[in-house]
Amino acid sequence: MILRPGQREQVLPLPVTLISTVSDDGTKNVAPWSNITPILRPLDEIVLASWIKRDTLENIRATGEFVVNIPPASMVEEVMICARNYPPEVDEFAEAGLAPRPSVKVRPPGVGGCLAWMECVLAEEIARENYSLVIGTVVHLETDDRCFNDAGEMDFERAEPLSVMLGREGMWFTRPVRSGRFARYAEMAAGRKG
Ligand SMILES: Cc1cc2nc3c(=O)[nH]c(=O)nc-3n(C[C@H](O)[C@H](O)[C@H](O)COP(=O)(O)O)c2cc1C
């Protein structure tokens, strides 16, 4: 089956993050974001895609700062409240009943109750006609200790970071579970010459 352009977004599982920003006058904003990916390891930089008409993009341009919050699956209703199209003067923390969490290195607060908070400063914007790619430098990354196990690894089946599969008329929210296969990084080095 060949997918037409309008169907193509269905094939990739996507993360669900919440991006928090503040406007020039200090109004707090939160919006869900799925077109977002780390730029290789060790997560010094992150890139997100934004349609032009987004308060989030305006705020990042105005202040040069944003926080990428990782919500648990239990926060899905708040995520969908933040997805509504509020005017810029509306505080979306208040609308969704989310608690601001003071950030360490940037002005926008993080979202209380999330699993992790990546504080970012704007490094570069690549502007296209209808959208922009925003590259942020991660200046501080903190997690909720409760989602890490004794080995220092994220217990994602307990933490349940929210993800999503897009469909024709809506989206199914999902969460990661183990497939039964664990691969050591060393496997990737097998067969390498020299
Ligand atoms: C799960 C989910 C993921 C989203 N991902 C993006 C995205 O990657 N880029 C984008 O421009 N909008 C995305 N949106 C839409 C924005 O969250 C939505 O338009 C929101 O109202 C924007 O708020 P703002 O104008 O306060 O920035 C997403 C919405 C949902 C529900």
Confidence band of 134 (pLDDT split at 50, 70, 90): very high
pLDDT at 73 over 90: yes
What is the DSSP-derived secondary structure letter of residue 2?
P
pLDDT at 194 over 70: no
The three-state secondary structure class of 129 is: coil
Name residue 118's beta-bridge partners: 68, 141
Task: Determine the Cα–Cα distance for residues 152 and 99; give it in Å rounded to an integer.
Answer: 27
Tokens at residue 33, please? 């974001």
Give me the long-range contacts of 77-82 (CB less than 8 A, separation at least 24): 79/16, 79/18, 79/32, 79/162, 80/32, 82/18, 82/30, 82/31, 82/32
Q: Are 177 and 160 in contact (CB under 8 A)?
A: no
CA of 83 to the centre of ligand 1 (A): 6
Which percentage of the chain shows pLDDT scores above 70? 99
> For residue 73, what are the CA distances in angstroms to 4, 95, 117, 163?
30, 19, 16, 8
Instruction: For a ligand 1 pocket test, name from 56, 98, 166 the mutation site with the most ligand atoms within 8 angstroms of its C-beta.
Output: 56
Instruction: For a ligand 1 pocket test, name from 33, 55, 164 the mutation site with the most ligand atoms within 8 angstroms of its C-beta.
Output: 33
Question: What pLDDT is recorded for position 185?
Answer: 93
Q: What share of the chain is helix, strand, coil (3-state, %, to 5)?
A: 20, 35, 40
The pLDDT mean for the chain works out to: 96
Residue 56 CB less than 6 A away from ligand 1: yes
pLDDT at 191 over 90: no
Q: Which CATH architecture has domain 5-189?
A: Roll (2.30)
pLDDT at 190 over 90: no
CA of 31 to the centre of ligand 1 (A): 6
Tokens at residue 185, please? 């990084």
Question: What pLDDT is recorded for position 76?
Answer: 98
pLDDT at 38 over 90: yes
pTM strictly above 0.85:
yes
Instruction: Report which ligand 1 atom has the smallest distance to the Cα of 131.
Output: 11
Domain extents in the chain = 5-189
Question: What pLDDT is recorded for position 138?
Answer: 98
pLDDT at 63 over 90: yes
Nearest residue (by CA) to ligand 1, atom 14, is: 33
Question: For 75-123, what is each residue's pLDDT tens digit?
Answer: 999 999 999 999 999 999 999 999 999 999 999 999 999 999 999 999 9
